[in-house]
Amino acid sequence: MEKSFIIAGFGGQGVMVAGQLLSYTACETTDKYVTYFPSYGAEMRGGTANCYVVISDDPVGAPKVNKADYVVCLNDPSMAKFKDAVAPGGTIFVNSSVVTIEETRPDVHVVKVDAGSIAIELGNPKCLNLVIVGAIIGYTEVLPAENVLQTAFKKLGAKRPELNPINEAAFRRGWEIGHAAKEANA
Amino acid sequence: MAEKIFMKGCEAVAETAIRAGCRFFAGYPITPQNDVPEYFARRMPQVNGVFIQGESEVASSNMAYGAAAAGVRSMTSSSSCGISLKSEAISWMAGARLPVVIANFQRGGPGIGTIQPAQQDYMQATHASGNGGFRMLVLSPSNLQEAVDMTWEAFELADKYSRPVLLLMDGFTGTMMEPVELPEPLSEEQVAAIRATKTWAARGKHGAPEQHKVMCGPGLDTRISQMGMNIEDDKLYKTWQTAEIDYEDYLTEDAEVIITAYGISGRIAKSAVKILREEGIKAGLIRPRKVYPFPDVAYEKLPLEKLRGIVSAEMSIPAQFATDVERVVHGRTKIVTALSSGGEVLDRATILDAARGLMK
């Protein structure tokens, strides 16, 4: 089983950290093969940034895919660029707090996550990416949720342990949304 | 077994170099290999090594030349157009017979090119990385564990033959992250012992009546005959044709179609072979791990006349690697190419379609 992800958004939305959380969890807590490939321009903040993650039971071929099983779009420019990069039967996760472009393909599932608003409601807009990671895990079950959370504590909590509770709350809110979407599709 | 660490390619190469006893690195910034000098800048002081950001590619590669002349395991890295600038010093290293490891994280070209990954420096890497007709052993990893293993091997080979060795990476293998197991580092005693074996190195007279040492090859060093040196090098390169052949041979025994590729394209080709096998197409893979010397024997031993054909895949337009495959195969079977360039990843579907086309 091989699952590919494209995670895209503005620089500063935590796109790379979201991809790395999935990747580190796969590397450090499972026997799966994993690749992570970042792609960004020269901009520090406000430019578009995206990363590619492939998690597989077998050695990974290309670390960058043209069609992904799961595409995550955190803003409109990413939606415009990547909404056609979802493989048929795949799923697109949309940060519905700011994304206005609609995915209209009949062969693609859409999971809307009001990640920006949830993050603000929880008290820190920066935890938007944890909401999204939670939704990805709740929906795809590609990795054990508790492992992802532990990796978040280990990697993010190392520098900012005071953010662990809010990161956990963000992850769990996202997980509920992803899990509910999966149940609805089933 | 060593711990599995999730690392970026550039950092895995730099860390392995330090573990292999590299104590001098000089570089100059260029995407997509900036994580190499950044990593060395942080790590070298911890091992009493030297990191220098030179004022240019030309300067930094000449610094690596100088450090090697002093007997230190020495390295420089760059990307494509930066390697062109370093080629002057690389040729001098070959002329002076100095062991230096050079890493090229290939990006687009010609000229400044895009910063995106590519495999467009194949000819330069394997045939002419500078003036004078010298050759280098060229190691090209498909995944980051291989990048680690080959970095270690590159330092061993550089010292073994006392020649520059090229690690042919690309923007993908440089910037992607993947789990790796790192080798145990050499101890300071081991690093010193390796340096001590290099009795030819210039390390100052320290009061001893030692002979004046010159390391610049024929021309400036009048004791060496130019033709004599060229003949010796030619002999050495010929020994590489048997001693240094290195390739992966995967499911070729009953294969009707062969996919061949190196570096980043090699791993994509291998995943294509698996899919073709599931479709019932008997596909196999030839993947050179060293692209110089080219593993002619890998293709020679195939039943070429009985094959449906070979798909040669690479991230270069026009094809470069394929010309070496054509040279060996010499019309004995059909060769088709699956190509991309300009930062576009080689799509596995392109390889699959080419292979399916050969079966029709």
pLDDT single digits (tens) B185-241: 999 999 999 999 998 998 877 666 666 677 777 877 778 899 999 999 999 999 999
Query: What is the ipTM score, two decimals?
Result: 0.94
- B145–A contact, CB cutoff 8 A: no
| pLDDT tens column, A121-155 | 999 999 999 999 999 999 999 999 999 999 999 99
In sequence order, the β-bridge partners of residue B138 are B166, B292
* Interchain contact, A38 vs B345, CB within 8 Å: no
pLDDT, mean over chain A? 94
Strands B247-250 and B283-288: antiparallel
* Interchain contact, A60 vs B347, CB within 8 Å: no
Domain count, chain A: 1
Tell me the CATH number at A10. 3.40.920.10
- For A14, the domain range is 2-185
| pLDDT tens column, B22-41 | 999 999 999 999 999 999 99
* Interchain contact, A62 vs B178, CB within 8 Å: no
Rounded mean pLDDT, B117-131: 96
Contact B282, B257 (CB under 8 A): yes
**Residue A43 pLDDT class (50, 70, 90 cuts):** low
Assess whether pLDDT exceeds 70 at residue B116.
yes
* Interchain contact, B274 vs A58, CB within 8 Å: yes
Rounded to the nearest angstrom, the minimum Cα separation between B70 and chain A is 38
**Which two tokens mark A186?**
């089933």
B219-234 CB burial, b ≥16 within 10 A, e <16: eeeeebeeeebeeebe
Q: Cβ contacts of residue B276 below 8 Å, gap of 6+?
A: B257, B259, B282, B283, B352, B355, B356
| pLDDT tens column, B130-181 | 999 999 999 999 999 999 999 999 999 999 999 999 999 999 999 999 999 9
Chain B residues within an 8 Å CB radius of A62: 267-268, 271, 345-348
- Rounded Cα–Cα distance for residues B191 and B172 (Å): 31
More confident call, A46 vs B248: B248
Same fold for the domain at B4-197 and the one at B247-359?
yes
Interface residue of B7, B34, B144, B177 to substitute, partner A, most A CBs within 10 Å = B177
Rounded to the nearest angstrom, the minimum Cα separation between B122 and chain A is 20
Residue spans of the domains in chain B: they are 4-197, 247-359
Q: Cβ contacts of residue B360 below 8 Å, gap of 6+?
A: none
* Interchain contact, A34 vs B178, CB within 8 Å: yes
Please give the CATH number for the structural domain made up of B4-197. Answer: 3.40.50.970
Top-level CATH class of B247-359? alpha beta
Rounded to the nearest angstrom, the minimum Cα separation between A46 and chain B is 20
Q: What is the DSSP letter of B212?
A: P
pTM over 0.90: yes
* Interchain contact, B6 vs A24, CB within 8 Å: yes
Contact B336, B357 (CB under 8 A): yes
Residue B280 backbone zone (phi > 0: left; psi -120 to 50: alpha; other: beta): left
**Which two tokens mark A17?**
């950290």
**Which two tokens mark B194?**
């390796």
* Interchain contact, A23 vs B177, CB within 8 Å: yes
